[in-house]
């Protein structure tokens, strides 16, 4: 009796849940925090640049070796909160639940946000400030995708260490949801064995 060639459990749709992982100043992993909804596409882009050794007449390839490995992680975030901004920018200072210092005009008030000319004082807020930092923060990334609703089985990507590319766009759009595109590059975790230093893909069976 013939068996079906299609394995439907490996054909999937949808995005998933993304988390940022924190390291302390000593490089010790602290735990994961939920990023919130992501939109569009979550992409794990792997490039293994190969160098060929050729010789002979005609020249033929005698040996090939990988000379560069590059893993890029790209996605679109919807929640524009200070913790996400710090991770996405790769640095900066976050302060939580404070009354912000006065603005350049010497006041603590700003326009209320509509067409009114009224200004309103700023209450307790979280702030993100950036500028003057020459290093990039290292974080971890964990992405969890449900393969099928009826089984609950998951595919999980964990990037042990990553740094933001340094480009962060924060569009505020007139007629669409505000979201911002973020890209990270994986950094080798040299404490791990060769062949396992950038990320892992876990396929739950």
What pLDDT does residue 151 have?
86
Residue 152 has pLDDT above 80, yes or no: yes
Q: For 171-184, what is the mean pLDDT?
A: 91
Q: Give the confidence band of 95 by pLDDT, cuts at 50, 70, 90.
A: very high
What pLDDT does residue 25 have?
82
The residue with greater pLDDT, 3 or 77, is: 77
Nearest C-alpha neighbor of 86 from the set 38, 130, 131:
130
Nearest C-alpha neighbor of 161 from the set 180, 184, 144, 145:
184
Q: Give the confidence band of 76 by pLDDT, cuts at 50, 70, 90.
A: very high
CB 166 within 8 A of CB 137: no
What pLDDT does residue 130 have?
94
What pLDDT does residue 27 have?
87
Q: How many other C-beta atoms are found inside a 10 Å radius of the C-beta of residue 153?
A: 14
What pLDDT does residue 24 have?
86
Whether this prediction's pTM lies above 0.95 is answered by: no
Q: For 142-153, what is the mean pLDDT?
A: 90
Helix or strand holding residue 203 (H, E): strand 199-203
List, in order, residues 6 or more apart from 124 with CB less than 8 Å away.
97, 98, 99
């Amino acid at each position: 009796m013939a068996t079906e060639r299609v394995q439907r459990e490996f054909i999937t749709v949808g995005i998933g849940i993304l988390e940022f992982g924190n390291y302390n100043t000593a490089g010790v992993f602290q735990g994961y925090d939920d990023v919130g909804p992501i939109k569009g596409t979550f992409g794990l882009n792997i490039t293994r640049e190969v160098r060929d050794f050729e010789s002979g007449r005609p020249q033929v390839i005698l040996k090939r070796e990988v000379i560069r490995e590059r893993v890029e992680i790209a996605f679109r975030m919807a929640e524009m909160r200070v913790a996400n901004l710090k991770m996405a920018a790769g640095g900066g200072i976050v302060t939580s639940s404070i009354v912000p210092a006065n603005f350049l005009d010497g006041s603590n008030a700003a326009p209320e946000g509509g067409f009114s000319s009224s200004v309103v004082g700023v209450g307790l807020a979280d702030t993100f400030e950036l500028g003057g930092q020459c290093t990039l923060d290292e974080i971890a990334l964990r992405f969890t995708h449900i393969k099928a609703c009826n089984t609950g089985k998951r595919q999980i990507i964990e990037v042990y260490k990553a740094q933001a590319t340094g480009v962060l766009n924060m569009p505020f759009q007139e007629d669409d949801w505000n979201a911002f595109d973020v890209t990270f590059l994986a950094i080798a975790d040299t404490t791990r064995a060769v062949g396992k230093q950038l990320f892992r893909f876990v396929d739950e069976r």
